[in-house]
Amino acid sequence: MNRWSQYYLFTTREVPSDAEVVSHQLMVRAGMIKKLAAGIYSYLPAGWRSLSKLMAIVRREMDAAGAVELSMPAIQPAELWVESGRWQRYGKELLRIRDRHEREFCFGPTHEEVVTDFVRRDVRSYRQLPFNLYQIQTKFRDEIRPRFGLMRGREFLMKDAYSFSATEESLDQVYSAMRDAYRRIFAACGLDYTMVEADTGTIGGSSSHEFMVTAATGESAVAHCSTCGYGANVEKAERGAWEVPSEQARQAAEKVETPGRKTIEEVAQFLGIPASRLVKALIYNTEHGLVAVLVRGDREVNEVKLLNQLPGTHHLELASAERVVAELGLTLGYVGPRGLRARNVRLLGDLSVRDARNFACGADEEGFHLVGVNWSAENSPSEFADLVLVGDGDPCPRCGAALAISRGIEVGHIFKLGAKYSEAMKCEFTDEAGVNRPMIMGCYGLGIGRTVAAAIEQGHDADGIVWPLPLAPWSVLVLALTPNDPAAMAAAEALAAELESRGVDVLLDDRDERPGVKFKDADLVGVPVRAVVGGKSFAAGQAELSLRRDRQKQLVPLAEAAAKVLELIERLRA
C-alpha cells in the first residue's frame, strides 16, 4: 500500500520562476518532476507512475498493431550519420561528443540510422518483410531555448518505431495500422486530440501526420475545416486559391516620399491604402547567399514552406539591416522587387501577390515607396509558390469553406520515409525476380513526457491537476482526516486495503497534517477519486466521496464505500 507518509511525494505552493506553462508549474508543484539542468528533469515517483501508465498503454497498442519491441543504444557513432547525410544537416540540436580515442559520437535524438544499420546486415529477402520495430527510450535534442518543462526539454522519453517494407503498398498498410494505433492510444488516455497533415522536417520522407492534443495553451497552431475535415499544422497548411483582382486599368508607377515610414502599418496608413495592397520584401540569410521573398503586406512568411522551396538549404534567418546595406546597398523597409532583381538576388514570390495589380512597394531608396506598380520583366519574381502562413477564415484548399485556427500540442508524429535512408545506407533486399531494391521505410514517434504534460494542459483548474483516469498516478486517494484517531485510521486503512484487493491503485494520505493542507494537496496532485475518512462523517459511520473533476461530495455508509468508489471509477471510464 502506498502511504503518503512513507512515499517520496513532496508538494510546494511556490510556483517555479522559470515555469511558463501550466503543466510545468503543476508537475513541479505536485512533486512529479525536478529540474537538474536547463531542459533536463528527474521524473520523481508520482511522475514516473503517470509515465509508466502511458507506456503500458503504448506497449499494448503497439503490440496489438504488430510492432515488436527492442532497445537500441542512446549513443550513436558519427559515421552512420555521415552516411545518411544528416551529420551536418541536423544542425546544433545534435549533441556531438568524443570518446577517449577522439572518435565522434552523438546522443541520439532519433534512431533511423541505427535501426537501418542492423537491418541491412540481417535482412536479405522480400520474404522477411514487412516488420515494425519499436522502443521507448531517452532521447536528447540540444534545443536552443529549452522551456515549458517536459513540453520542450532537451532530454526526453519517446516511443519511436521503424517499419521496413518491400513496396509502397505495404508501407501504406503499416502506416495505416500505426495511425489507427495512435488513435487508440490517445483515446485510451482520455484525451481530446486531432490528427493533421504535417511537414516532414529534418526526418524527411514523402508525407507525415501529427497528432495534436487540443489545448488553449498549445504551442502549435492548427488549421482545420469543419466542413470537409481537412486539418494541418500551420507549417504545412495550404489555403484555397487567392482571389483574382477585378479588371482594372494598369497604372503607371509613381514614386512617393514616405519619410520615416518603414513598417507595413506605417506605410499603409501614410498612403491611405489597406496593407493587402502592399507587397513587402523579406530578405533571408542562407548558406548559399541571400534570398528574397515577396508577400502581401498583411501576410507572414512560412519559413518551413520557404525552406522546402530551397532544396539544399538548411539554415534560414532574416538578414540584418547591416548586411543588406553592405551587400546590396539597400535599406530595409524601402526594398522593392526591382532593386532585388537588378542585384541578382534570388527572388521568390508568394501566390498572394502573383495576380497583384497597381500595388505599392519599396522604391529601393530610403524614404520612398512606389505606388501603381505592376509586374514586368524588370521586377517580377523568378518563381511563385505557396510561402505564407494560413490565417483564420482563409478558404480550405479542398472545399473552399472557411478554415479555423486553433491551438494544439504535438504529441505524436508519423512519417512515410520511403527509401530516403535505405538508399543512402544501402539497406536493400532481393525481390521475387532476384533484383536488389531499397527497403521502403516508415517511422512513428510519440512523446511520452509531452503526452502526460499535454494531459495536464488540457485538464487543470486554479487548484491543480484534473487527471484523466488512465494517466493519473493513482486512481483513488483515501484521505485519513484524523490520523491520530485509531478507529478512524483503521477504517481508512481498511478501505484502502479493500480497494487494492480489487485491483485499484490507491494512495493513503496518512500524514499527520492539518485537514486544510491535505485537501489542498489532494486538489494539487489531482487524483480522480477521493474518499475522506474521519471527522464528523466518520462519527456518523460514513465516508465522504467525491470526484476531482467536479468535487461534488456524497456521504455513503463506510460498509458501502469500496463499492461506491468502484462505481465512481466506472463512471470515469465510461
Domain 254-385 has CATH 3.40.50.720: no
Mean pLDDT of 279-283: 97
User: Is the model's pLDDT at 245 over the cut of 80?
Assistant: no
Assigned superfamily of 48-238+405-457: Bira Bifunctional Protein; Domain 2 (3.30.930.10)
C-alpha cell at 28: 513541479
Give pLDDT tens digits for 148-200: 999 999 999 999 999 999 999 999 999 999 999 999 999 999 999 999 887 66
The confidence score (pLDDT) of residue 232 equals 87
Comparison of pLDDT for 222 and 506, the residue scoring more: 506
In this structure, are residues 496 and 508 in contact, taking their beta carbons and an 8 Å threshold?
yes
Q: Which three cell numbers stand for residue 66?
A: 504488430
Work out the average pLDDT over 323-343: 96
Average pLDDT of the residues in 214-228:
87
pLDDT at 392: 93
pLDDT of residue 208: 85
Mean pLDDT along residues 367-387: 95
Helices and strands (H, E) in the chain, number of each type: 16, 32
pLDDT tens-digit series, residues 444-473: 999 999 999 999 999 999 999 999 999 999
Angle, alpha carbons 407-408-410 (nearest 5°): 150
pLDDT score of 98 more than 60: yes
Whether the pLDDT of residue 250 is over 80: the answer is: yes
Domain with CATH 3.30.930.10 in the chain: 48-238+405-457
> What are residue 554's phi and psi, to 5 degrees?
-140, 140
**Bridge partners, residue 134, by sequence:** 69, 161
**Mean confidence (pLDDT) of the chain:** 94
Instruction: Report the percent of the chain where pLDDT is more than 70.
Output: 98
- What are φ and ψ of residue 220, in 5° steps? -110, 145
Q: With beta carbons less than 8 A apart as the criterion, state whether 320 and 355 touch.
A: no
What mean pLDDT comes out for the span 125-133?
98
pLDDT at position 206: 61
- Per-residue burial over 157-192, b = 16 or more CB atoms within 10 Å of its CB, e = otherwise: bbbbbbbbbbeeebbeebbebbbebbeebbebbbbe
CATH 3.90.960.10 domain span(s) along the chain: 254-385
Q: What's 265's DSSP letter?
A: H
Please, what CATH class does the domain formed by 474-573 belong to? alpha beta
Q: Do residues 361 and 373 lie in contact, with contact meaning Cβ atoms separated by under 8 Å?
A: yes
